A = this chain, B = another copy of it.
Amino acid sequence: MNIGQAAERSGVSAKLIRHYESIGVVPKAGRSDAGYRIYTENDVHILSFVRRARDLGFSMKEIKKLVGLWRNKSRASAEVKTLALQHVKALDQKIAQLEAMSKSLKQLARNCHGDGRPECPILDGLSE
């Protein structure tokens, strides 16, 4: 299987597959005589795994660890769980940050007429 098909099947673009290989997130693919990368079902499986981890917001560094744990049949699930819960914590912190921003901004916008006049509590709020 060429990289294009692997990309289609895994949902990871060919561009990104090469990138992931270069930073060691996925193992180096085999090569044809002409130098084309060759992918197996298992390779596609790894790529799909990476895509799902990415969809859950893990960083590439974390994904690299997760792939390592996934491929290591004798890992301790505690290690995976720790990684996952750390990420949950980071997500929840980010959510709280964004919620605070959204809330403040909604508050400012609520008081703004939003018409042709120049008076604007939003700008006043930013100006303090």
Interface on A for B, CB 8 Å cutoff? 45, 48-49, 52-53, 55-57, 66, 69-70, 73-78, 80-82, 84-85, 87-88, 91-92, 94-95, 98-99, 101-102, 104-106, 108-109, 112-120, 122-123, 125-128
Contact = CB atoms under 8 A, between A and B. Distances in A.
A91 B105 contact: yes
Contacts of A112: 77, 80-81, 84
Given A49-B127, A91-B98, A98-B94, A118 B74 contact: yes
Given A88-B105, A101-B91, A117 B77 contact: yes
Contacts of A128: 48, 52
Given A49-B127, A102-B91, A116-B78, A84 B108 contact: yes
B115 A78 contact: yes
